[in-house]
Structure 1
Amino acid sequence: MSPEPSLVATETAAAADVGTAAKETLEDYTLRFAPRSYRKWSPGVVAVSALGGIAYLADFSIGANIGISYGTTNALWGILVFAVVIFATGFPLAFYAARYNLDLDLITRGSGFGYYGSVVTNVIFATFTFIFFALEGSIMAQGLQLGLGIPLWLGYAISTLIIFPLVVYGMSLLSKLQLWTTPLWLVLMVLPFAYLLITHPESVNSFFAYQGANGQGAPSLASIMLAAGVCLSLIAQIAEQIDYLRFMPPKTPENSRRWWAAMILAGPGWVIFGAIKQVIGLFLAVYIIANIAGGTAVANQPVHQFLEIYQDIMPGWAALTLAVVLVVISQIKINVTNAYSGSLAWTNSYTRVTKHYPGRLVFLGVNLLIALILMEANMFDFLNTILGFYANCGIAWVVVVASDIAINKYLLKISPKEPEFRRGMIYSFNPVGFGSMLIAAGVSILAFFGALGSGIQPFSPLVAIGLGLVLPPVIALATKGKYYLRRTNDGIDLPMYDEHGNPSGDVLGCHVCRQDFERPDMVACHTHDAHVCSLCLSTDKVGDHVLPATRP
């Protein structure tokens, strides 16, 4: 008897993707659980690699911009609000990623959004990566123009093209790049700040007395929240940290202390370093405005911030060289992460919607192209507005997922504690997270543009935080949690977790792509007495492999 046409179509479609699926080592386990066999790095190496990705200089620009706009006092309080919110929301996400070895998209699927519902959050995250790639690329182009006389338009292209070959091999190359460049980057960044504190102690008083460009920087709750809103555009950075943290080794009694320290430091702890950089950026900007003729025009540009201080320490040629080296190293360190994470986000969305896996490199090119267009459009001149608007979307997403994990999973226990991301095991859409995010983002964006009144406008980040925190448990209780799991049994008898609660390392074969994958990535096939991996399920165009909604 010949196979049914639908089954033939399924196998043909799956076979077309076998070539790309077979390159999972190169593709760094795109779209799927990171297996134990691949996670050979120690907690310390993973942490250093993850923190290497926050070497960006955008923090210096952000700190300078909010200080120039709102004065030092309001900026510092805004940075503190930003740090507290980022740490509190990032902790449950980072723990979940490191514990279960999933990226934030896979976590989002089972944390209230559903299989297709999390596509919208992927778009939000991809937007984050190309916005900040463009911002960092613009800073690098400024450095190339200053140091080598390269026109900005050409500098934008160079800062984009240089990243592509570095991102091809994913985590294996990125970990080495971050480890080797971090010491030099730290020295170059800290040197000018330490120099000013030692040789110009009066700059500290000038810093705290600075009232902003318009001289109206008196303490104001509205100004604090406007400053915090710009900083909070970085809230999606936790997703990039998680792209490294998903490669944490299994947590055991022997490595528990090191595991926790690495997870906290490289997860929510990134914001400590981010906040410090924002304060330093503001400090350098105030010094330049007060002491350098025409300094106001360049005070928010990191390359000029460092160049002006380096020139006080060493000959001009050496100062210029070090400033350019710092900018280039910083931009390469962060933009390989932006490009890598953005390619994952776009690929994940495209694969689920079209049921076709084109490979991560296709969308690496897409992400870089969008970033280059933004740079050529001179987005640097509209930084505060772009980041303030984006913050509302990013906050809504991250806070909703954090609320579902911390409250619905661990406190109310209405959401399944263990993650689920596999097609067929979860519903296409879950109103708990998907609905909460749309409401929180929509209302906060209305507030941001003044549609809810000028009095509420500065507090749009608080609107997003409040709604994102409260709505998930409210909707979960109202729906009795019935939209989390489509099935509770994946048809495989092997246990999902080992004796320490880590994802199992047992290996099973996928009968579609003929590759072996670990237990958490596998599901029983509906039409065969065999197993199928999560990626082949995602590319199953007719759904023949997908288990039915009810138990057999």
Structure 2
Amino acid sequence: MTQHAPKSDDFSLVRVPAHARLPMWEVLLVRIGALTCISQFMLGAALGYGMTFWQAFWATMFGSIILQVVSVLLGIAGAREGLSTSMLARWAGFGKYGSGLIGAIFAISLAGWFGIQNSVFAQGVDQALGGKLGFPLSAALTGLFVTIIVIFGFKWLSWTAKIAVPGFLLVMAYGIYKVLENHSLSSLISSPAPGPALSISAATTIVAGGFIVGCVITPDISRYCRSSKDVFGMTVIGIFLGELGVNMIAVLMAHAIKSNDIMTIVLQLTGLFGAVLVTFATIKINDINLYSSSLGFTNAIHTLFKVKTNRAIVTLVVGIFGTALSIMGILDQFIGFLILLGICVPPIPGIIIVDYYILKRSRKILDESRRLGTLPSESENFHPIMLVAWGIGILAGYYIDAGIPSVNAILATGLSYYIGMKLLQSFNQSKVKVEEVV
């Protein structure tokens, strides 16, 4: 029998059924919305301030390709099973309690970033209105506005993207038009970096690390895709239009203005209206933060306490709490803690990809339950090898200086998990043979 979920719950603990899947372009808009925002523009401006145009281009390409491979693999698994990242992990290496731990990490870190991004959004709104509302009231209004959007689930995320993404892209197009009024494109492309030099390796690390969390939670979005082909299109177009497109526009603007200050660049090129639209586009990254946080909390509560909570109620509680913290300014004290949690995220794909695509330990029960429109009735509770591999990945990402930390974490985790599981399998087979002889 097919599992059902309340409409507001947005299939948080069950598979997204075929009738609820969406056209690729609707999912794509949500994906692009996660990249067409102030934080991505800040990243591009930082590259442009410390690099030439072509140096920034190749750094973005290298970082984007890395994200692309991981996103596609995770995204296809999410679409095939119709499951969010934390739910997929339950049958892809992490087990019941491991997936709950992932859910908790996602939930806490993304809820924290929701509050911080809300502060940025509120400050922009307050400045645009000449300080008439004041920061506390602005933060309360912006936080509750985003919370209401997320309560209604993925459909409303899609509708918000249809407004915010075109608005952001129009501002970028107008900004480039203003740049090219006074500068030739060839001169900007050939101009030296206006600020202190930034190396290719450092820049590639920034690009890959800047969206690694968004990359890991790809299944939260791709579970609404209708096919693997849609997932591939969504991730390729999303990353290269969002990541490469926004970065290169920001690079040209930084070269023209000779600054990496985002609001200075936007105000000089597009005026107050453009600054308001760019600030408004923050909604798109922040509603995804809150949405994935609500999915993580729902899974963690269900796993740890065996209680099924409605995702909409969880969203309301988390949204109000995050908004209150942003109003009080407490979140500024937690940035270090959130960054520490972020170190735990890059290794996660290593285990999921190896277990789902190579070891395929749960593929048979997933395939059988998918045909019935349900979930497997059981899963392993926890696997110590997963925990050891996860720890190795965290250490590799943190301590290995060569290469890109997030990639080091993924590779070290995946390799150690594969070797560990194979050694365990060989040990168990040897043990069975000895027992048979005896």
Question: Is residue 73 of structure 2 the alignment partner of residue 92 of structure 1?
Answer: yes
Contact 1:59-1:274 at 8 Å conserved across structures: yes
Q: Cα distance 1:244–1:460, how it changes in 2: closer, same or farther (>3 A)?
A: closer
Per-residue Cα deviation, 1:303-359 (whole angstroms, up to 9, x for no partner): 44322101xxxxxxxx3123213321x122332222222111111101211112232
Q: Cα distance 1:431–1:211, how it changes in 2: closer, same or farther (>3 A)?
A: farther
Match of 2:269 in 1: 309
Tell me the SS of whatever aligns to 1:394.
coil
Q: One-letter code of the match for 1:308? A: Q
Q: One-letter code of the match for 2:356? A: I
Which structure is higher in RCO with an 8 Å CA cutoff and minimum separation 6? 2
Q: Cα distance 1:247–1:206, how it changes in 2: closer, same or farther (>3 A)?
A: closer
Q: Structure 1: how far apart are the matches of 2:233 and 2:149?
A: 25
Tell me the SS of whatever aligns to 2:14.
coil
Contact 2:393-2:412 at 8 Å conserved across structures: yes
Equivalent residues in 2 for 1:151-230, closer than 5 Å: 151-197=134-180, 199-201=182-184, 204-205=187-188, 208-210=191-193, 212=195, 215=196, 217=197, 219=199, 221=201, 223-224=202-203, 228-229=205-206
Q: How far off its partner does 1:210 sit? A: 1.0
Q: Structure 2: how far apart are the matches of 1:361 and 1:176?
A: 17
| Percentage of pairs with the same residue | 20
Contact 1:103-1:239 at 8 Å conserved across structures: no
Q: How far off its partner does 1:59 sit? A: 0.4
Match of 1:475 in 2: 420
Q: Structure 2: how far apart are the matches of 1:170 and 1:118?
A: 22
Tell me the SS of whatever aligns to 1:426.
coil
Q: One-letter code of the match for 1:394? A: V
TM-score, with length taken from structure 1: 0.66
Per-residue Cα deviation, 1:177-224 (whole angstroms, up to 9, x for no partner): 323544333222322124324541268547751163xx3x16464x34
Residue 436 of structure 1, aligned match among 374, 385, 389: 389
Tell me the SS of whatever aligns to 1:110.
coil
Q: Cα distance 1:239–1:372, how it changes in 2: closer, same or farther (>3 A)?
A: farther
Q: How far off its partner does 1:101 sit? A: 1.3
Tell me the SS of whatever aligns to 1:99.
helix
TM-score, with length taken from structure 2: 0.81
Equivalent residues in 2 for 1:260-279, closer than 5 Å: 260=229, 262-267=230-235, 269-272=237-240, 273-279=242-248
Residue 145 of structure 1, aligned match among 126, 129, 134: 126
Tell me the SS of whatever aligns to 1:428.
coil
Question: Is residue 103 of structure 2 the alignment partner of residue 122 of structure 1?
Answer: yes
Contact 2:135-2:327 at 8 Å conserved across structures: no
Q: Structure 1: how far apart are the matches of 2:190 and 2:111?
A: 33
Contact 2:47-2:56 at 8 Å conserved across structures: yes
Larger radius of gyration: 1
Equivalent residues in 2 for 1:336-485, closer than 5 Å: 336-368=287-319, 369-370=321-322, 373=325, 377=329, 391-409=342-360, 416=363, 419=366, 422=375, 425-445=378-398, 447=399, 456=401, 460-480=405-425
Q: How far off its partner does 1:58 sit? A: 1.1
Equivalent residues in 2 for 1:60-79, closer than 5 Å: 60-65=41-46, 68=49, 76-79=57-60
Match of 1:507 in 2: none
Contact 1:52-1:333 at 8 Å conserved across structures: yes
Match of 2:256 in 1: 287
Q: Structure 1: how far apart are the matches of 2:98 and 2:308?
A: 19
Contact 1:56-1:334 at 8 Å conserved across structures: yes
Tell me the SS of whatever aligns to 2:65.
helix
Q: How far off its partner does 1:429 sit? A: 0.8
Structure 1, unpaired ranges of 5+: 1-20, 252-258, 291-295, 311-318, 484-552
More helix by share: 2
Q: Structure 2: how far apart are the matches of 1:72 and 1:140?
A: 29
Contact 1:234-1:391 at 8 Å conserved across structures: no
Contact 2:347-2:409 at 8 Å conserved across structures: yes
Q: Cα distance 1:418–1:140, how it changes in 2: closer, same or farther (>3 A)?
A: same
Q: Structure 2: how far apart are the matches of 1:389 and 1:43?
A: 34
Contact 1:46-1:175 at 8 Å conserved across structures: yes
Contact 2:33-2:165 at 8 Å conserved across structures: yes
Q: One-letter code of the match for 2:381? A: S
Q: Cα distance 1:195–1:144, how it changes in 2: closer, same or farther (>3 A)?
A: same
Q: How far off its partner does 1:285 sit? A: 3.1
Q: One-letter code of the match for 1:235? A: I
Q: Structure 1: how far apart are the matches of 2:347 and 2:239?
A: 18
Residue 87 of structure 2, aligned match among 90, 103, 106: 106
Q: Structure 2: how far apart are the matches of 1:478 and 1:126?
A: 33
Question: Is residue 20 of structure 2 the alignment partner of residue 38 of structure 1?
Answer: yes
Match of 2:436 in 1: none
Q: Cα distance 1:144–1:176, how it changes in 2: closer, same or farther (>3 A)?
A: closer
Tell me the SS of whatever aligns to 1:116.
helix
Q: Structure 1: how far apart are the matches of 2:50 and 2:35?
A: 24
Q: Structure 1: how far apart are the matches of 2:395 and 2:273?
A: 46
Match of 1:326 in 2: 278
Question: Is residue 59 of structure 2 the alignment partner of residue 82 of structure 1?
Answer: no
Alpha-carbon RMSD across the aligned residues, in angstroms, is: 3.6
Contact 1:128-1:236 at 8 Å conserved across structures: no
